[in-house]
Amino acid sequence: MSVVLDPKALIDGERPLFNASYGKLMMWFFLVTDAFTFSAFLIAYGVARVRSVTMGVPWANAEKVFTHTPVLYDVFHISAPLVFVGLMTFILIVSSVTMVLAVEAGHRKSQKEVEKWMIWTIVGGAVFLACQAYEWYHFIEGSHHGALVNGVKVFGANLIVNEYGPTPFANFFFFVTGFHGFHVFTGVLINCIIYFNAAVGTYEKRGHYEMVEKVGLYWHFVDLVWVFVFTLFYLI
């Protein structure tokens, strides 16, 4: 039995292949491979942490590291452990909800609603990146009292020294959260392109909003990865 496939239908998403268009299949393929990459980084982080503790070198305590919250710390000098990163996580999750609403509006071919929810998704991603920059700044700057490392007073963290604990903690923190931040930044740029295309009526002319759905898959993946990063770096 031979099956005749319409190339145009596969590209445009008019006829599904295995219940998904070619574009969706490729997006899923990319997300699976990217998931393997993040998994390798997080597993390496876990191994380094266990090895450090096994050798008698205490790992950094997230509740003593991530205590900075805008206004509370900068104005009133009040430490609020993990409050700010919790807010960051909430913002990213809300942006995932607005993306769901954008995809749903696309299914109904509601151009204005797609534009509205894409804007809110972009804002959520941009705010998350701004929050991450604030967190990195204070992590690099360090506390006012610093810490003695090999007899030398050290303030903050970088790839060579770390006030808060073993150097690998800072190395993994910069690399993994930076790699995730790059994904968020890329997602914000792509979302801006999708918003522009929706605003000028590109998807109305195509007759479907599948591009919104494909980008939505990427955005949900980025949010899901952050849940694991948040758990391993901040909660455990």
pLDDT in tens, 8-39: 544 444 555 556 677 788 999 999 999 999 99
Give the model's pLDDT for residue 126. 98
According to DSSP, residue 191 is labeled H
The answer to whether residue 114 is domain-embedded is: yes
The CATH number assigned to the domain holding 160 equals 1.20.120.80
Q: Are 130 and 181 in contact (CB under 8 A)?
A: no
H/E run at residue 152: strand 152-154
Confidence of residue 6 (pLDDT cuts 50, 70, 90): low
Residue 77: other Cβ atoms inside 10 A = 8
Mean pLDDT of 81-101: 95
134-188 pLDDT, tens digit each: 999 999 988 777 676 777 788 888 888 888 889 999 999 999 999 999 999 999 9
Residue 164, both tokens: 């808060």
Q: What's the pLDDT at 1?
A: 45
> What element of type H or E holds 196?
helix 167-199
pLDDT of residue 92: 96
Residue 64 lies in a domain: yes
Residue of 233, 81, 223, 234 lying closest to 172 (CA atoms): 233
Query: Given phi > 0 = left and psi -120 to 50 = alpha, else beta, which region is 104?
Result: alpha
Q: In the prediction, which pLDDT does 25 show? A: 87
Per-residue pLDDT at 218 exceeds 80 = yes
Q: Which two tokens stand for residue 38?
A: 């993040």
Q: How many domains does the chain have?
A: 1
Q: How many residues does the chain have?
A: 236
pTM: 0.87
Give the model's pLDDT for residue 13: 47
Is 23 a member of any domain?
A: no
CA angle, corner 182, sides to 178 and 101, nearest 5? 125
* SS3 (DSSP) at 186: helix
Domain of 117, in residue numbers: 30-235
Lowest mean pLDDT among 96-100, 147-151, 213-217: 147-151
Residue type, 103: V
Whether 104 maps to a domain, the answer reads: yes
Report whether pLDDT(2) > 70: no
pLDDT of residue 16: 52
> Do the domain assignments include residue 22?
no
pLDDT at 226 over 50: yes
* Helix H or strand E segment including 147: strand 147-149
Residue at 15 is within a domain: no
Task: Look at residue 210 and tell me whether its pLDDT is greater than 70.
Answer: yes
Token pair belonging to 134: 């604030």
pLDDT at 153: 82
With b meaning 16 or more CB within 10 Å and e meaning fewer, what string describes 102-123?
bbbbbeeeebebbbbbbbbbbb
Q: Residue range 105-114: average pLDDT? A: 94
How far are the Cα atoms of 43, 93, 225, 226 from residue 38, in angstroms, in the given order?
9, 19, 8, 10
Q: Residue 7 falls within a domain, yes or no?
A: no
